[in-house]
Amino acid sequence: MPSFSEMWEAIRKGDHQQVVAYLNAGYKVNTRDDTGRTALLMAAFHGQGQIVDTLVESGANVNAKTVDGLTPLQLGVKAWRQNYWIASTLIEAGADVHASDKWGSTALSGAREKGDDRVILLLMDAGADY
């Protein structure tokens, strides 16, 4: 079975085919590393929309949290690319738009910090509030 580090490397590179191959080889989609990161958390952080879609379809926990309380949605809204796609996918799959990390930050505060009006509106339409 593929290791977390192998999956992480495929995600970092944006190698969707390799991610699918690892899932087909038995990689457990909700496996965590020592900081609580899952493949979905990493894909959201790296702005890998297609990989996020595949992981969600494979049963990834859309509300998984790192040891600091960060969720895929919080990481995804701040991604440098595909953040609207990622946020849409996660919200549609049931991501908690109100979740906060240990510092009290939410996905909405992250989107506001980034200044992304489309994502801010998406989150507010999903029930997030200031």
Q: What is the CATH number of the domain that holds 60?
A: 1.25.40.20
| Structural domain containing residue 95 | 4-125
Residue 64 covered by a domain? yes
Residue 52 covered by a domain? yes
From first to last of its 130 residues, what are the pLDDT tens digits of the chain?
899 999 999 999 999 999 999 999 999 999 999 888 999 999 999 999 999 999 999 999 999 999 999 999 999 998 888 999 999 999 999 999 999 999 999 999 999 999 999 999 999 999 998 7
Q: How many distinct structural domains can be found in the chain?
A: 1
Residue 59 covered by a domain? yes
Residue 65 covered by a domain? yes
61 phi, psi to nearest 5 deg: -75, 110
- Whole-number pLDDT of residue 36: 86
- Whole-number pLDDT of residue 129: 85
**Nearest 5°: CA angle at 39, between 6 and 27?**
60
Residue 51 covered by a domain? yes
Residue 130 covered by a domain? no
Q: Is 67 exposed, middle or buried, given 0-12, 13-18 or 19+ CB atoms closer than 10 A?
A: exposed
- Whole-number pLDDT of residue 41: 98
- Whole-number pLDDT of residue 40: 98
Residue 25 covered by a domain? yes
